Chain A
Amino acid sequence: MPDRTDRLYPYARHPDQDAASPRRHPVTVVGGGPVGLATALDLGLRGVPVLLLDDQEGVGEGSRAICFAKRTLEIADRYGAAAPMLDKGVVWNLGKVFHEDRKVFEFNLLPEDGHRFPAFINLQQFHVERFLVDRIRTAQAEGAPIDLRGGNRVTQIDRQPDHTTLTVTTPDGPCEIETDWLVACDGASSPIRRMMGLDFDGRVFQDNFLIADITMTADFPTERWFWFEPSHRAGASTLLHRQPDGVWRVDFQIGWDIDRTEELREENVRRRLTAMLGPDVGYDLVWTSVYTFQCRRMTRFRHDRVIFAGDSAHQVSPFGARGANSGIQDADNLGWKLAMVIREEAPDTLLDSYDEERRHAADENILNSTRSTDFITPKSRVSHTFRNAVLRLAGRYDFARPLVNSGRLSVPCTYDGLSLTGADDLPGGPARTRPGSACPDAPLGDGYLLDRLRDGFTLLTIDAGAPDTLADGITIRRLALSAADDPTGALAARYLGQAASAVYLIRPDQHVVYRAATYDDTAVRRALRRTTCREDT
């Protein structure tokens, strides 16, 4: 096992701490979890000077996220951090569902061909965080203005009209820092949210989950196994999932009225594990913990110059792996917008669209993970009866299988009908690439489409004419493709559908703004202005 408490960014005294008056920074990100690290990378790689403060000195203790979705890998790839994740991660496609020990059915995620990344990988969160820190180090060496400070805890904030003053507590005592923009990525119990007295309402699920990470010598297949009401009674439901380093995640649903300390005693954890694995399987405990889960979000994610991202803004139950995965999408959504506002390429109202889009996404994630939780842990007799009826029918009849819900795995949200989303003028165009959606990948000769949609706005043309660049306050680069670039037909299937040609305006976060069959200068400019909130200029 790697040492999880590696001091990847040990505290070091900074000249800011000796300055006579507080130094001013354009952006400060608070929190070095996956979302804070991704936000700092996104901004830093765009050349925006970013200060990242974390109260720890390295990756988080303990075991949390293990399931990372394709979209997260695609975003990490834009940051140049995906290769080690893919190398280290475990790819799985086969899932099995059991009820009272009988296998009800199995499913194959049957990943669609023609994507650089698999639908999901299993990878411990601390590995993901470490790879992001590694990438911050190489980016710094390449000149990205990212300043990562460990052992820096924000303990007080004072909001002014044009900046925020932070009191930062360090091993050498407190110091003050000023920042134009503050991005709070300080986790579900967000101290910044509390300091501002903001609400965080939702539903607590009256259940506890005992998480055990174990190493086994037994040869279990690389599959996701989910048991409803197993007869070993070690948990009302149980999940077994493989991670790298020969580690397995076992997740027992253990009820509401429990004694945490008692449950976490090694002999009690072992009693459950042995009941489940049988007496002959040897294993070692790597990590155990008891969690309760909640689904809730802040009313608003933007409070003027303070912006919340990740778990500080929204929290979901883990079924469907929507926590870290959606937080990384927050970073992806915020980075280009904040960079444009700081460069004065767009008005700060652009940041309201972050709030709008990511609240919409949070609602979708909360809805999905609430439904999964309700299916897994039915709270009334009738819902329990229905749940078991679904499981029983699913063993025999296909129709009941889509109703079995042990987690709907995270996919990116489509910003249908939201403020930045433009018109769909492509008759016969596929629904999956309609305005608002995240661009699906497609093979292009020796590379992939998403490799070519980096950094700025792109005008993607497929068998359509258009100018090579378009300047309208900001510059749009054209990516001209034709049937010859589409060896597998995936590009046509995903971007043309019934259409013979297409023009797509694509945002820096690879979401579609607008599309049409042919290039229309006025329409493209209108869509660009709308999506950068410069409609009146």
Chain B
Amino acid sequence: MAKLNTRPNITAPDQFYAELIRTHEGLTDEESEALNARLILLLANHIGDAEVLTEALAAAREV
């Protein structure tokens, strides 16, 4: 049984997306890459569940 939720789950998708892009505003490509890494680690910690994280890593790589 897959534990990773891939059904729509973000309450206001357009708002979230705009915020995500805005967070990168004014950064160089390297700075953006570093920000993304920090963001992934923060979200991963929030999720915590090892199975979900493993599935997410695989999904991101395989898609």
**A381-B29, A399-B6 known; A371 vs B63 contact (CB < 8 Å):** no
B36 partner residues in chain A, CB cutoff 8 A: 382
Query: For the complex, is B32 an interface residue (Cβ under 8 Å from A)?
Result: yes
Query: For the complex, is B13 an interface residue (Cβ under 8 Å from A)?
Result: yes
Query: For the complex, is A392 an interface residue (Cβ under 8 Å from B)?
Result: yes
Instruction: Tell me whether chain B's interface is mostly helix, strand or loop, or mixed.
Output: helix
Is the Cβ of A401 less than 8 Å from the Cβ of B24? Answer: no
Task: Determine, out of A267-275, A402-410, A444-452, A461-469, the stretch whose residues face the partner at the interface.
Answer: A402-410
Instruction: Tell me whether chain A's interface is mostly helix, strand or loop, or mixed.
Output: helix
Bound Cα distance A274, B20 (Å): 37
**A381-B29, A382-B32, A386-B21 known; A399 vs B9 contact (CB < 8 Å):** yes
Rounded to whole Å, the gap between the CB of B1 and the closest CB of chain A is 17
Q: Interface size (A, Cβ < 8 Å)?
A: 22
Is the Cβ of A382 less than 8 Å from the Cβ of B27? Answer: yes
Query: For the complex, is A393 an interface residue (Cβ under 8 Å from B)?
Result: yes
Q: Interface size (B, Cβ < 8 Å)?
A: 21
Rounded to whole Å, the gap between the CB of A378 and the closest CB of chain B is 8
Is the Cβ of A402 less than 8 Å from the Cβ of B13? Answer: yes
**B8 CB contact (under 8 Å) in A371, A395, A401:** A401
**A382-B24, A383-B24, A392-B63 known; A371 vs B14 contact (CB < 8 Å):** yes
Query: For the complex, is A160 an interface residue (Cβ under 8 Å from B)?
Result: no
B13 partner residues in chain A, CB cutoff 8 A: 402-403
Rounded to whole Å, the gap between the CB of A486 and the closest CB of chain B is 32
Which residue of B is nearest A402, CB measured?
B13
Bound Cα distance A374, B5 (Å): 27
What total count of A-B pairs have CB within 8 Å? 52
Is the Cβ of A402 less than 8 Å from the Cβ of B10? Answer: yes
B17 partner residues in chain A, CB cutoff 8 A: 371, 375, 386, 390, 403, 405
Bound Cα distance A398, B8 (Å): 6
Query: For the complex, is B37 an interface residue (Cβ under 8 Å from A)?
Result: no
Query: For the complex, is A368 an interface residue (Cβ under 8 Å from B)?
Result: yes
Is the Cβ of B18 less than 8 Å from the Cβ of A371? Answer: yes
Is the Cβ of A399 less than 8 Å from the Cβ of B5? Answer: yes
User: A24-53 interface mask toward B, CB cutoff 8 Å, 1 = contact, 0 = none?
Assistant: 000000000000000000000000000000
Residues facing B in A358-406 (CB within 8 A) are 368, 371, 374-375, 380-383, 386, 390, 392-393, 395-399, 401-403, 405
A397 partner residues in chain B, CB cutoff 8 A: 6, 59, 63
Bound Cα distance A399, B2 (Å): 15
Is the Cβ of A382 less than 8 Å from the Cβ of B29? Answer: yes
Rounded to whole Å, the gap between the CB of A368 and the closest CB of chain B is 7
Query: For the complex, is B46 an interface residue (Cβ under 8 Å from A)?
Result: no
Bound Cα distance A403, B59 (Å): 18
Bound Cα distance A392, B59 (Å): 11
* 8 contacts across the A-B interface (CB closer than 8 A): A371-B18, A381-B29, A393-B63, A398-B6, A399-B7, A399-B9, A399-B10, A405-B14
Residues of B bordering A, CB below 8 Å: 5-10, 13-14, 16-18, 20-21, 24, 27, 29, 32-33, 36, 59, 63
